[in-house]
């Protein structure tokens, strides 16, 4: 047992974006360089999906964190949907600004010596 509540999802964020969100009380970045207003939802992941997303979209980036989000505390609706038509894997999408009090932990995300990201929920 990891000690995390059931219904935990994750979001990769730049530290600076998260710090700004903490001051504002809500987080509104969908993904790397795309706002919630532009995308319509905030991309999130399950624990098993974090490293794959990081390696697909954040290679070479620094200043990253993983927001650990308690689904039960999220104000906007969360839908599990495929990231693109024809794909079977489902990813959590948050349909509105993320209230910062739903973030129960913030963890650094740094690439290893081989330039690849790894993630463990514990």
In a domain, 119, yes or no: no
Predicted confidence pLDDT, tens digits, the chain (122 residues): 344 445 999 999 999 999 999 999 999 999 999 999 999 999 999 999 999 999 999 999 999 999 999 999 999 999 999 877 777 889 999 999 999 999 999 999 999 999 999 999 88
**Which CATH number fits the domain that encloses residue 36?**
3.20.170.20
C-beta of residue 33 within 8 angstroms of C-beta of residue 98? no
In a domain, 117, yes or no: no
**Host domain of residue 50:** 8-109
Q: What is the reported pLDDT for 5? A: 46
Q: Is 61 exposed, middle or buried (0-12, 13-18, 19+ CB in 10 A)?
A: middle
In a domain, 28, yes or no: yes
What's the DSSP call for residue 45? Answer: B
As given in the structure block, the two tokens for residue 41 are: 């939802």
Total-model pTM: 0.92
């Amino acid at each position: 047992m990891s000690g995390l509540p059931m219904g935990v999802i994750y979001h990769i964020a730049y530290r600076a974006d998260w710090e700004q969100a903490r001051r504002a009380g809500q987080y509104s970045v969908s993904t790397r360089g795309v706002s919630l207003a532009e995308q319509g939802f905030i991309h999130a992941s399950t624990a098993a999906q974090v490293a794959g997303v990081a390696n697909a979209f954040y290679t070479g980036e620094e200043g990253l964190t993983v927001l650990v989000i308690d689904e039960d505390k999220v104000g906007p609706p969360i839908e599990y949907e495929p990231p693109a038509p024809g794909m079977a894997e489902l990813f959590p999408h948050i349909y509105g600004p993320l209230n910062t009090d739903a973030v129960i932990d913030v963890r650094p995300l740094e690439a290893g010596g081989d330039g690849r990201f790894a993630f463990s929920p514990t």
